[in-house]
Amino acid sequence: MSEKRTDLSNLTGPELVRIFLAEYDKPRTTPQERAEFFDFKSRVFAAIAMRDGNPDAARFAACAKADSDLLWAEVAVVEALNGGVR
């Protein structure tokens, strides 16, 4: 991810949209890259939900977090089966 921001709370709505869209179309070929994107997506939508009280954004954040959790579990299984090597 080009944007390694950990705190998105100080960004405006348009800034959040811009950083999300900048990441959206980047190719992701591994489960880890996809998991990192869904982590990021979850944080962006959670920031929107917190600021605006937007229930749709909260739902999108929860879905992205669930997708991320599944992908991280897949990464962990592959690492375990390969003796820690991806």
Over residues 5-53, the pLDDT tens digits come to: 677 888 888 899 899 999 998 999 999 999 999 999 999 999 999 988 9
Count the Cβ atoms, other than its own, within 10 Å of residue 74: 14
pLDDT of residue 58 exceeding 90, the answer is yes
Burial class (CB in 10 A: 0-12, 13-18, 19+), 14: exposed
So what's the pLDDT on residue 33? Answer: 95
Q: Which residue has the tokens 């990192």?
A: 36
So what's the pLDDT on residue 39? Answer: 95
What does DSSP assign to residue 8?
-
- Three-state DSSP class for 47? helix
pTM surpassing 0.95? no
How confident is the model over 42-68, as a mean pLDDT?
Answer: 94
Can you tell me the distance from the alpha carbon of 33 to that of 4, in angstroms, rounded to the nearest whole number?
A: 13
**Where are the strands (E) in the chain, listed by range?**
none
- Three-state DSSP class for 13? helix
pLDDT of residue 4 exceeding 80, the answer is no
